[in-house]
Amino acid sequence: MAASRRAKLNESHRLHQFFRDMDDEESWIKEKKLLVSSEDYGRDLTGVQNLRKKHKRLEAELAAHEPAIQGVLDTGKKLSDDNTIGQEEIQQRLAQFVEHWKELKQLATARGQRLEESLEYQQFVANVEEEEAWINEKMTLVASEDYGDTLAAIQGLLKKHEAFETDFTVHKDRVSDVCTNGQDLVKKNNHHEENISSKMKGLNGKVSDLEKAAAQRKAKLDENSAFLQFNWKADVVESWIGEKENSLKTDDYGRDLSSVQTLLTKQETFDAGLQAFQQEGIANITALKDQLLAAKHIQSKAIEARHASLMKRWSQLLANSATRKKKLLEAQSHFRKVEDLFLTFAKKASAFNSWFENAEEDLTDPVRCNSLEEIKALREAHDAFRSSLSSAQADFNQLAELDRQIKSFRVASNPYTWFTMEALEETWRNLQKIIKERELELQKEQRRQEENDKLRQEFAQHANAFHQWIQETRTYLLDGSCMVEESGTLESQLEATKRKHQEIRAMRSQLKKIEDLGAAMEEALILDNKYTEHSTVGLAQQWDQLDQLGMRMQHNLEQQIQARNTTGVTEEALKEFSMMFKHFDKDKSGRLNHQEFKSCLRSLGYDLPMVEEGEPDPEFEAILDTVDPNRDGHVSLQEYMAFMISRETENVKSSEEIESAFRALSSEGKPYVTKEELYQNLTREQADYCVSHMKPYVDGKGRELPTAFDYVEFTRSLFVN
């Protein structure tokens, strides 16, 4: 019984312990139910956020208390299964406990949802209040009556309004987003549905009011801006017109053509500026006026009155400009006439002065002529000049008329010339004086030239005759046409040469007379003579050369006679040497140049080699060392004869040597040589000489062989002496 009672007491103790624990949990649940059953969901966003945080902590506490609740339930179920005491009460209490726990959880969930709805609502309200605050602030701005009193101020206000409109566009998007959010909350059946709808309606109304107020302010700002801009442009136009009006107030219309043309150029530039301004400034202000009147601007009357005032000033400016241009053109026409007169006078005065200077130079040029033809040409030129004076007189009269016209304008001195009419008149008077002086000088020179021409003719008569005598005497000495050179002896030639030389000496007196006439011509400054080509010096040189030629001829003949008598050179050989020299002396100068000398030697039988021009010729150079050692380029007759005589006596020792040479030319050593053999072995000049001097060969029977020549008789005849 004790054990049973003890068991029952323990069971009763566990039961009452369970009931006490359940009462504690019931008490805790009841306490929490009071919290979750509160109708306080916050009056603003901060309050809602704080309540939400507390609720989150409550939910965490419920979740944390879940094991304790489950432990009570498990204990009650075990007691119900194990005990028979109070089983019904346990089950009843458990059912009630579970119901209370579920109710607490439902209430917590419902409060959590309401708090979330309140949070969304308060966020919506905050956004609405923020936009309403911005709208209220901007309503104050757009309701301002300040539309600017200057163009700068209105431009600043327009920029601010543009910034506002940009900002307003952003805020309208924000309002749209807020309203969209409010509609979503209404769709979610937010418990603040009525307040949300009211807030959205009020916000949209304020946005509409702000938009209307902003449009009205923008219109007034634009209107005021247009009016101020019109006034500003009108001020600019008036300022420009005023500046141009001042520039037209001058009375300067130029002092001369250059200054007038400068002013006209400036006026044309001024008019071009007016045209350009009319197309831009005037056209723009007129277009702006028309635009404002068409838009029925509130200041239309003031705008129209201002524009009319501008147009009146503009028309007056154009009229003043046209008047000034007309006066400048009149001044230009006036000064142009004066300028044309100035230029015409300057050109004609310059031309007249140039003509006078040239005429003065010609008229004052010393009259020094060298012939009658020259003085005749000068007199003809002077007569032609006198004939041209009528044209100069006409030019002078034109200058006088131009000067009268210029002086009638009462202008300053001519800027294009320093010539004055007074100076030109003095020039004209001087010209008449110079002309008379020139005529006297020409007459004097005419007489002088007539006397000089007589002196020329006298000199020419004696000079021409003397020169002809020199030529005839030279021909006589050199050609030997009057000397019996071919048949006469050397002695007879020498006598004839001496007589001719005496005649040459006798003609020295005639040369003296010619020299006296030449001196007289030099004294008269006669530099030329059309009647003769001979001069005193030339004739003296020719007479001197002729005198020397006569002495050389005498000496040469004496040398030939001595050579004939002492060396054995035949007189025929000497004649041949002399004739050959004269043959090659083409110009009859009594000298041979080197080329003529070489041709002469070849003709005489000297075998000189043929060399190209410019190549050395040592054999001929050796001969020149004898006859022309100083290389003056010429060989005289005396030098030539001395060389030929020395060679004639030096190279030939005996007639046997010559015979042996011819015998070598003849085939088989015959005593004759044929013409063909001569031309085959000798030069053409040598062969021609032998053929012309050798006698035909006659054999022992007295027969003459054709084309055969007797070289033996020819050789011995050379060595007779």
What pLDDT score does 2 carry? Answer: 92
Q: What percent of the chain has pLDDT over 70?
A: 94
Contact 254, 335 (CB under 8 A): yes
What pLDDT score does 482 carry? Answer: 43
What pLDDT score does 602 carry? Answer: 79
What pLDDT score does 568 carry? Answer: 54
Tokens of 265: 């150029």
Residue 85 lies in a domain: yes
CA–CA separation, 553 vs 496, rounded Å?
Answer: 10
Structurally, the chain folds into a number of domains equal to: 6
CATH number, domain at 508?
A: 1.20.58.60
Tokens of 609: 């080699």
Domain boundary (524, 541, 564) is at: 564
> Which residue has 């010729």 as its token pair?
617
Residue 399 has pLDDT above 50, yes or no: yes
In which band, very low, low, confident or very high, does the pLDDT at 98 lie, cut at 50, 70 and 90?
Answer: confident
Contact 604, 562 (CB under 8 A): no
Domain boundary (510, 535, 564) is at: 564
CA–CA separation, 230 vs 153, rounded Å?
Answer: 15
Residue 331 has pLDDT above 50, yes or no: yes
Residue 109 lies in a domain: yes
- Domain region containing 168: 144-232
Residue 135 lies in a domain: no
CA–CA separation, 497 vs 474, rounded Å?
Answer: 11
CA–CA separation, 385 vs 438, rounded Å?
Answer: 12
Query: How far is CA 265 from each of CA 268, 279, 667, rounded to the nearest angstrom?
Result: 5, 21, 119
Query: How far is CA 558 from each of CA 571, 573, 591, rounded to the nearest angstrom?
Result: 12, 15, 19
Residue 654 lies in a domain: no
* One domain for residues 167 and 88: no
Least confident segment among 81-85, 140-144, 434-438: 81-85
* The one-letter amino acid at 371: S
* One domain for residues 389 and 479: no
* 589 DSSP assignment: S
Residue 111 lies in a domain: yes
* One domain for residues 619 and 673: no
Residue 56 lies in a domain: yes
Residue 566 has pLDDT above 90, yes or no: no
**Can you state the angle between helices 571-584 and 536-567, rounded to 10 degrees?**
150
**Which strand (E) or helix (H) includes residue 540?**
helix 536-567
**Which strand (E) or helix (H) includes residue 706?**
strand 704-710
* One domain for residues 508 and 614: no
What does the pLDDT average to over 169-196? 84
More confident residue, 474 or 319: 319
**267-312 pLDDT per residue, tens:** 889 889 888 888 888 888 888 888 878 877 778 888 888 888 888 9
**640-675 pLDDT per residue, tens:** 777 777 776 655 555 666 777 777 777 677 888 888
Ramachandran quadrant class, 702 (left: phi over 0; alpha: psi -120 to 50; beta: rest) = left
Contact 164, 190 (CB under 8 A): no
Least confident segment among 67-76, 101-110, 196-205, 408-417: 408-417
What does the pLDDT average to over 391-403? 87
* One domain for residues 369 and 476: no
Contact 540, 481 (CB under 8 A): no
* One domain for residues 268 and 353: yes
Residue 242 lies in a domain: no
What pLDDT score does 654 carry? Answer: 57
HEC letters along 199-235: HHHHHHHHHHHHHHHHHHHHHHHHHHHHHHHHHHHHH
CA–CA separation, 333 vs 338, rounded Å?
Answer: 9
Residue 490 lies in a domain: yes
Domain boundary (509, 530, 564) is at: 564
What pLDDT score does 552 carry? Answer: 80
Which residue, among 316, 309, 305, 177, has the nearest Cα to 244 in the 3D structure? 316
* One domain for residues 35 and 78: yes
* One domain for residues 43 and 191: no
Least confident segment among 286-295, 398-407, 519-528, 601-610: 601-610
* One domain for residues 274 and 386: yes
**454-497 pLDDT per residue, tens:** 888 889 999 999 999 988 888 887 765 444 444 467 788 888 88
More confident residue, 690 or 560: 690
Residue 79: CA count within 13 A, CB half-sphere: 28
CB atoms within 10 A of CB 72: 21
* One domain for residues 110 and 23: yes
CATH number, domain at 713?
A: 1.10.238.10
Contact 238, 313 (CB under 8 A): yes
* One domain for residues 358 and 479: no
* One domain for residues 39 and 188: no
Task: For the chain, give the mean pLDDT.
Answer: 82
CA–CA separation, 216 vs 695, rounded Å?
Answer: 160
